[in-house]
Amino acid sequence: MSSSKTDILVVGGGLAGCATAYYLARAGAEVTVIERDELNMQASGANAGSFHAQIPHITFLEEGEAWARNFAPVVEMLIEAIDLWRGLEAELDADLEVRIGGGILIADRPEQMRDIERRMSLERAYGLDIRALTRDELLQLAPYASAQAVGGCYCPIEGKANPLKATAAFARRAEEAGAVFYRHTELRALEAVSGGFIATTGSGTIRARRVVNCAGASGGKVARMLGIEVAVQGFPIQVNVTAPVAPIIKHLVYAAGHRLSLKQTANGTLLIGGGWPAHVDPDSGYPIVDPHSMIENLKAAQRVVPAVAGAHLVRTWAAVVNGTADWKPVIGEAPGHKGFYFNFFPWTGFTAGPISALTTAELVLGRKPSIDIARYSSLRQAA
């Protein structure tokens, strides 16, 4: 490609970009995706694969009630997001290891139950099925939980899928529907011209009528090419994986007192994360593991599920998650920049990747979106 044309240019080949390309191409649109690396090499391929619907409990405690009230409507979108995942294996004709086993948050101090109740009342107001568990109910549902547990809560719609499979399946089906993918093609400059945009990449220019920014943690940098400021950032975090063990955990497990997400994959490994901070190497710019985070994350997992102590850690990796302070998505056409769209879902963009992409594609095509995105997106304030 030294000079080409397309109707819709999608920037970024993570879950957001590949799924957006799929929904656009499925509707018959002409789409080109550019990815500076290989597909699925950043957050979308390095995440923990959890489907989150609850307001993140530790962030709720740290940021407080006002933050949670502002974020709470997004719970509705997460419910829709997980509902869409239920049909994706059939739609994409691919095994994505989707399992909806429910999410359990475990408390080990009686006073934590008050915070759980406060959080659940916000979530219920937006339609989330979530209920408190007494100690006996918890141990019946989750016999693997520590004897120190005092109770918790249960959200039946949470679950997981395999991040190594999902983006690839969307990309495959998008390509079959006619989308063109240019890998190792970095967007370096973007200029608004009459009737669209000229994108300058490392391998030539592309003229496009519309552009969709799916650049994840680099979404702010791409927007700045048009002079748009959006408070999107990248945060290095890490995940641990153990060798396979016999089936013990069928839920997505959180803790009320520590940053934790814990689950067992289809092949028996335990994935232990929860957003513990990593570092960015100042020389290479690559994310690197923080050993202190690793130890504290594993300690938190063992405290809640003692059987974790019997599993061998095989790997800890770091990756950069796309984040915003309010955790709200930035989705839709940038005000004052006709034809330039954002598809940016922060922190839990694996869960919300498909619904965000479907909604973005609908907006780009001028159709009524399947969800009322104006209720959730912070685009108007952010742009």
Ligand X SMILES: Cc1cc2nc3c(=O)[nH]c(=O)nc-3n(C[C@H](O)[C@H](O)[C@H](O)COP(=O)(O)OP(=O)(O)OC[C@H]3O[C@@H](n4cnc5c(N)ncnc54)[C@H](O)[C@@H]3O)c2cc1C
Identify residues 270-329 at the interface with ligand X (CB under 6 A).
Answer: 273, 319-322
Pairing of strands 159-160, 31-34: unpaired
The nearer residue to ligand X, 273 or 332, going by C-beta atoms, is 273
The nearer residue to ligand X, 186 or 326, going by C-beta atoms, is 186
The nearer residue to ligand X, 68 or 212, going by C-beta atoms, is 212
Q: In the set 32, 42, 54, 112, which binds ligand X (CB under 6 A)?
A: 42
Q: Which two three-digit tokens encode residue 235?
A: 């945060």
The nearer residue to ligand X, 112 or 201, going by C-beta atoms, is 201
Q: Which two three-digit tokens encode residue 70?
A: 């502002």
Q: Please, what is the end-to-end C-alpha distance for the chain in angstroms? A: 32
Give the count of beta carbons closer than 10 Å to the beta carbon of residue 314: 11
- Residue 52 near ligand X by CB under 6 A: yes
Quick one: angle between helices 353-364 and 15-26, nearest 10? Answer: 50
**Least distance (Å) between residue 166 CB and ligand X:** 9
CA 219, 165, 101, 260: dihedral to nearest 10 degrees?
-50
- Residue 218 near ligand X by CB under 6 A: yes
- Residue 14 near ligand X by CB under 6 A: yes
- Residue 20 near ligand X by CB under 6 A: no
The nearer residue to ligand X, 113 or 271, going by C-beta atoms, is 271
Length of the chain: 383
Identify residues 83-112 at the interface with ligand X (CB under 6 A).
Answer: none
118, HSE (Cβ side, Cα atoms, 13 Å): 15
Match 């650049």 to its residue by tokens: 215
- Residue 54 near ligand X by CB under 6 A: no
Beta-bridged to residue 273, according to DSSP, are 261
Kindly write out the interface string for residues 238-277 of this chain, putting x where it contacts ligand X by CB under 6 A and - elsewhere: -x---------------------------------x----
- Residue 13 near ligand X by CB under 6 A: yes
Radius of gyration of the chain (CA): 21
Q: Interface residues with ligand X (CB under 6 A)? A: 11-17, 34-37, 41-44, 46-50, 52, 186-187, 214-218, 222, 237, 239, 273, 319-322, 345, 347-351, 353
